[in-house]
Structure 1
Amino acid sequence: MATALVPALLLSLTACQSSTAGPEPAPRTNGKAAAAVPAGVGDTADVGGSRFGEHLRISLRGFVDPAVPTKAARRPAAGHRWVGVNLRLVNVGGAAYEAPLTKAWIVDEHGRKHPAVTSGEVTTGFPLSGKSLQVGDDSEGWLAFEVPYGSRAVRLHCTVGSQERNWQL
């Protein structure tokens, strides 16, 4: 009787190891691979932060070139213009999150990075707030970037924690 159970047990164990169970989970990356294929205006990317529980959802909702500064904002330097991006940030993690205002750039067709203008208010809408986002909170607004005339803004680049995300403009 015991000899008849052994082949049946081995057969059932082999059946549990079938390769038709479904796809394997995607390999873990540090975010660099996801940055290779840029998204576009209207797309959303999820990124983790550098601390446990930090998880931010970033949506590129709009892009204007040139962006017109408000009367209260400083003006672009001679030979430069502002371009603006409208972002929505949502804290979908389990911890407070600091908005990544200092880690966003416009990249031109030559690969040069142009950082966000800290006092850049544009007429298309309210500036993106740099406040800390509590769990479940969101913030939407515009960031301005100073880009030389003659350069074409082709990509928005954001670094959050150790992850990078890009959006085609």
Structure 2
Amino acid sequence: MGDSLDLTGLEDGESLAVTVVKVVDPARAENDFSTPDAGKRFVAVQFRLKNTGTAAYSDSPSNGARLVDAQGQSFDPTYEDTAAGPGFPGSVTAAPGDSVLGFITFEVPVGSRIAKVQFTMSSGFAGDTGQWEVPAR
């Protein structure tokens, strides 16, 4: 983690330097109404997205984010926020040279050990996927 990976999107001029800043596992619910389902926990991943391209970045970052556990199971984000910090809004726009920072929250089984964080531009449809290893706790 902490490494910045250069990713490209589907459109000409779309590229980001993506960094996984931190993984909070488990992450506390933001309030009493946004608790994980029974047998599950929240994991919050903070991403920094720096627009290194020539086109504006406009997307929903959570659409392209995934967690993978040690057994190879993949988990999609949830729309809940956690006390780990501010999440990304539903849609993010960044001009060339600008950076955005935010958490994406996942709901995963209590017994799953998170092994990898993945991010793909263009709502997960670009051919370029970044992957970061999560050290065992």
Which TM-score bucket, shorter chain as reference?
0.7 to 0.9
> Larger deviation: 68-77 or 51-60?
68-77
Matches within 5 A, 1:1-169: 41-71=1-31, 74-99=34-59, 100-118=61-79, 120-129=80-89, 130-160=91-121, 161-169=126-134
TM-score between both structures, scaled by the size of structure 2: 0.87
Q: Which runs of 5+ in 2 are unaligned?
A: none
Considering fraction of residues, name the structure with more helix: 1
Percent of residue pairs identical = 33
Q: Does the 8 A contact of 2:3 with 2:19 survive in 1?
A: yes
SS in 2 for 1:117: coil
TM-score by length of 1: 0.71
More strand by share: 2
Q: Structure with the greater relative contact order (CA < 8 A, sep ≥ 6): 1 or 2?
A: 2
Tell me how far apart the structure 1 counterparts of residues 9 and 66 of structure 2 sit (CA, whole Å). Answer: 18
Higher Rg: 1
CA distance in 1, matches of 2:118, 2:130: 6
* Structure 1 moving runs of 4+ over 4 Å: none
Q: Which runs of 5+ in 1 are unaligned?
A: 1-40
Query: How many corresponding residue pairs?
Result: 128
